[in-house]
Structures are given as C-alpha cells and as structure tokens.
Amino acid sequence: MNPERLAQELVDPIKTAVTTLPEPTLAALKEAREKEEDGARVQLDAILEAVEIGQKEEIPICQDTGTPTFYVQLGADYPAIDRLDEIKMAFRGAVQLATKEVPIRPNTVNPISGKNPGDNTGRSIPWINWNITDGTDLKVTYLPKGGGSTNMSQLTMMTPGKGIKGVKELVLKRIASMEGKPCPPTVVGIGLGGSASISMSLAKKSLLRPVGERHEDPEIMDLENELKERANNLGVGPMGVGGETTVLDVKIEYDHRHPASYPVGIAPQCWANRRTSFLITPEGDIVEVER
C-alpha cells in the first residue's frame, strides 16, 4: 500500500459523491416531482436538472460540498490493519487533491482566527469515524454533508416521562420550524437514547442507510413510517414553498439510555443526500460498492 497512490485513487469516490446522487434518493425525488404542482414542481424540476448537469458535466451538484467526513467500518481481521496510519494520511491527501481537481469548495474555517487554509483540511478534519466490525473488509462511506442542513441539527434532553409520544411531537415540531432552511425535501436522521453525544452521532449515522430502506426492528420501522407520513402532512414542501413532499425519508437509530435521561438527536440531511461507499483492499485499491 502506497499512501500517495491511495490518496490519488480516493479522489474518484469523492468526485462521484459530490457530482451524482445515489439511485434511491434520485428515484424518491422523481416520484416527488410527479406529485407536486406550481412552485413546488418548479423547485423539483430545477433540482432534477441540477442533478443531471452535475452528472453529465462532472461538476458538484451543490456548491456546498460539505465537511469532508469518512465513516470507516474496519473489519477486525483486515489484513492491512497495521497500515491504518497510512490510510488516515491518504484521506487527508485525498481531500487536498479533490479540492483542486474536482474541484470542491474549501470548507474548513478555524473557529478562533476565522482563517480558511483553503484545502479542506484542518484540526481533526477530514473527520474520520472509526467503527470496528467483524470480518476482513475495510469499508468506507464518504459523506459530504452541507452547512445549511447541519445548521438545523438539534439535541434535546427530553423529559423521559413524555415517552415515544413526546419524541414524535418533538420531531414534528422541529421539521415544522426548520421550514425551507435545510433544503427540503430532506432525509431526517433521528438518534434516540445513549447520551447527549451518542444520540447526535446516531442521528447522523442513521443517514448512512439508503432512502426507502426500513429499520430491521419492527417497532422502529413503524415509527419511521409514521413520522414520514406525518412530516409530509406539514406542508413545508420542496425548498419550503409549500407542497406534499417535506421529507424523502425519516431514519431512526437507538441505544439504551440512562433512566433519568432521554436524549433525542435530530440531524436533517438536504435533498442532495450525497455519499459514496467503497472498500479499500489490503493492497490499497478502491472497489466502489452500493451506496
């Protein structure tokens, strides 16, 4: 494995992530377009045209190419497990190259000085989320999430006595109050339980699941369906101009909570629900997989 070569190889999946949409998201947008009329349809037509141009001309669909974030599923028996430092270095090199070559927007600002180094790197950025799993594969999802939707994130330490009904109310209130700001139709990620930080991280992680895919736990599945249906009754509509489609999907993940705490994390994702998933072979080659 050569970290410089790997960095160069990684530019491609970053490019695919920002210039195209995953098929399930695109299908959901097309379905929404058929349901809408007037201003809402104008928005979805513009969205679908932008996606087409992005793919054809290989340019970022949206100018906000997000905070560079890699979600890594590391198999405990991955043969090149002693080379993780080099992989980390390659991630950093890849976003620097992609900033020039794709190009993507320099999106890292020092919170104290306000300075932007201009290459999409910074303290802890690109952000790498490591998860240890079984097996021999190293699977990565690149998730460039934009600032508009991220600004609508919310953590609530709910009174536990309010229960599931309280969760539903809280989520619907949030989707209503966000209006057009997170670029709807959105995918709304929800994290229940754990701790304050765990619930936020679960909310974001839930966005890794494809649009339309339901949680394996039947109770969570029902909750996702109910919240999706109710959210679409709110009338926010595409880009907040009113309409039938406020969300493309609702995703929920949960962990057990402390008896005194009921953290509810909400992480909305804009319609440009971008990502790529790929394996890094022990030799340092990239194999793109379904996203």
* Residues binding other proteins (CB under 8 A): 38-39, 42-43, 46-47, 49-51, 53-54, 57, 59-65, 103-107, 116, 118, 146-148, 151, 165, 168-169, 172-173, 176, 179-181, 183, 230, 233-237, 239-242, 270-272
Strands 127-133 and 138-142: unpaired
Listed in sequence order, the DSSP H helices in 102-162 are 147-150
CB of 2 vs other proteins, minimal distance in Å: 28
b/e 168-194 (16+ beta carbons within 10 angstroms → b): eebbeebbeebbbbbbbbbbbbbbbbb
Give the tokens for residue 218: 């039947």
Q: Which is nearer to other proteins, 86 or 244 (CB)?
A: 244
How far does Cα 87 stand from its chain's mean position?
Answer: 22
Give the tokens for residue 75: 């198999």
CB of 178 vs other proteins, minimal distance in Å: 9
Q: Which is nearer to other proteins, 116 or 154 (CB)?
A: 116
Q: Which is nearer to other proteins, 242 or 282 (CB)?
A: 242
Q: Which is nearer to other proteins, 152 or 203 (CB)?
A: 152
Q: Which is nearer to other proteins, 88 or 168 (CB)?
A: 168
CB of 65 vs other proteins, minimal distance in Å: 7
CB of 133 vs other proteins, minimal distance in Å: 32
Distance CA 55, CA 103 (A): 14
Q: 160: which residues sit within 8 A by CB, 6+ positions away?
A: 257, 259, 260, 261, 262
Strands 186-194 and 276-280: unpaired
154 in Cβ contact with 137 (< 8 Å) = no
CB of 174 vs other proteins, minimal distance in Å: 10
